[in-house]
Homo-oligomer: A and B are copies of this chain.
């Protein structure tokens, strides 16, 4: 039997990513979000939704660029912390001992400790209510070589052990259940 609930945000599991923004070190900040995702494959486009009250909001609006940094089990504490404290009171890079690195296309810093950093340029900011949606184009991806398969060059997501956010809780990655298309693959 199913129970009716009032309308709410219940799409999970989601990534917990760190957004790094700012165009010079005095402005650099980190914001954790789960309202993030892919919206188009070609051209590659994504979004993040951010409350206008957040300290990073005017930084994002001014620069119209940011980096999406995927997070891992090892980064769980920093991910949570950067989501609950404000850049108004804290230098998040310093206090979490995270290293701002140089992105290739955007001026926003990336987080060196992240296995995969996605450089984004904002195309449009859409007002929705509590959140504004930053509709963005992916302009570059930087992948940490330590997660690449030595022969195929493929990124090993399971090795990266990405962090997942599920309705107020963080989880590690679970066990592999299948690959895309396995349900129609002919048995040998």
Contacts and interface: CB of A to CB of B under 8 A. Distances in A.
A140 B176 CA distance: 32
Given A7-B43, A165-B180, 16 more contacts: A2-B110, A2-B144, A10-B70, A11-B15, A13-B13, A14-B14, A34-B38, A35-B40, A36-B37, A39-B133, A73-B177, A76-B178, A77-B183, A163-B177, A164-B164, A171-B174
A118 B121 CA distance: 31
Nearest to A144: B2
20 contacts: A2-B117, A2-B142, A4-B140, A4-B142, A5-B141, A5-B143, A7-B140, A7-B141, A9-B44, A9-B138, A13-B173, A78-B183, A81-B183, A84-B181, A85-B184, A158-B169, A164-B173, A164-B174, A170-B178, A170-B179
